[in-house]
């Protein structure tokens, strides 16, 4: 018999936020908000600013900058249009597809977002962020087994992906796998400590206290 889950999924919404490329925005879903962070994206974007890059790279960089500016202004339609221009010119640009998935996600076009993330994975099978992002969508749809599978794929690529470990903990908790959830969250906690991310450390420590308190039958 599965143990009673006293910790509500919404509790995890305090953990993190969804990072769309260079920009950070907060998803307001009551179910799950998960981080999608990737230093490789930042490096890719920064390298495009170097004067040694050719005109194609400069054009790509401009499309990305424009999309991010529009996104920061709340113009999701404009951001999507620029990213589609990027993909049209550079169809094998995994980052473009991933970023498009993020913008589609913000517009609640979940199935289209999944397709964009999957295309990023097709181009770059090691795109852990895209697997994590698909997991977020599955979690919002309460497709917990599918979400767990995607989080685990992300972690196979990057075992130190703290946000994927946090998301995995949520999905495991909802499935009644409390011990596994706690182990996953403790791993995330250690990673965030190593990364010197005090806000996440504080929040996850709070979640762990709630989890462990709920695991004690003497605690109401």
Average pLDDT over residues 188-206: 94
User: Alpha-carbon distance 101 to 119, whole Å?
Assistant: 9
CATH topology of domain 9-214: 1.25.40
Instruction: Please state, in angstroms and as integers, the Cα–Cα distance from residue 48 to each residue in 60, 131, 200, 203, 215, following that order.
Output: 8, 25, 30, 35, 50
Q: Supply the pLDDT for residue 92.
A: 94
61 or 155: which carries more pLDDT confidence? 155
Q: Retrieve residue 171's tokens.
A: 């999905």
State the chain's mean pLDDT as an integer: 79
Q: 26 near 20, Cβ under 8 Å?
A: no
Average pLDDT over residues 116-135: 96
50 or 119: which carries more pLDDT confidence? 119
Domain ranges of the chain: 9-214
Report the predicted TM-score, pTM, of the whole model to 2 decimal places: 0.77
78 or 26: which carries more pLDDT confidence? 78
Q: Supply the pLDDT for residue 151.
A: 97
Q: Supply the pLDDT for residue 12.
A: 52
Is residue 52 pLDDT above 70, yes or no? no
How much of the chain, in percent, has pLDDT values that exceed 70?
Answer: 73
Neighbour tally for 93: CB within 10 Å: 22
Q: Supply the pLDDT for residue 8.
A: 54
Per-residue model confidence as pLDDT tens digits over 55-81: 778 888 888 889 888 988 889 999 999
Average pLDDT over residues 88-111: 94
Average pLDDT over residues 188-197: 95
Q: What is the dihedral of CA 28, 181, 207, 196, to 10 degrees?
A: -90
Q: 146 near 136, Cβ under 8 Å?
A: no
Q: Where are the beta strands (DSSP E) in the chain?
A: 18-20, 23-25
What band does 9 get if pLDDT is binned at 50, 70 and 90?
Answer: low
What band does 109 get if pLDDT is binned at 50, 70 and 90?
Answer: very high
Is residue 4 pLDDT above 80, yes or no? no
Q: Supply the pLDDT for residue 219.
A: 34
């Amino acid at each position: 018999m599965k143990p009673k889950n006293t910790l509500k999924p919404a509790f995890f919404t305090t953990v993190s936020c969804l990072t769309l490329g260079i920009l950070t925005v907060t998803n307001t879903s009551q179910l799950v908000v998960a981080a999608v962070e990737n230093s490789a994206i930042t490096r890719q974007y920064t390298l495009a600013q170097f004067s040694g890059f050719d005109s194609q790279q400069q054009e790509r960089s401009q499309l990305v900058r424009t999309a991010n500016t529009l996104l920061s202004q709340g113009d999701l339609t404009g951001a999507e249009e620029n990213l589609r221009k990027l993909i049209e010119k550079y169809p094998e640009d995994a980052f473009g597809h991933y970023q498009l998935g993020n913008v589609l996600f913000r517009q609640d076009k979940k199935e289209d977002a999944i397709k964009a993330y999957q295309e990023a994975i097709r181009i770059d099978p090691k795109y852990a962020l895209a697997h994590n992002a698909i997991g977020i969508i599955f979690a919002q749809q309460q497709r917990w087994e599918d979400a767990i599978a995607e989080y685990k794929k992300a972690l196979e690529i990057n075992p130190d992906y703290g946000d994927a470990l946090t998301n995995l903990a949520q999905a495991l908790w909802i499935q009644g796998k409390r011990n596994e959830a706690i182990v996953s969250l403790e791993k995330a906690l250690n990673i965030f400590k190593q990364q010197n991310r005090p806000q996440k450390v504080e929040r996850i420590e709070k979640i762990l206290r709630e989890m462990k308190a709920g695991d004690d039958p003497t605690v109401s």
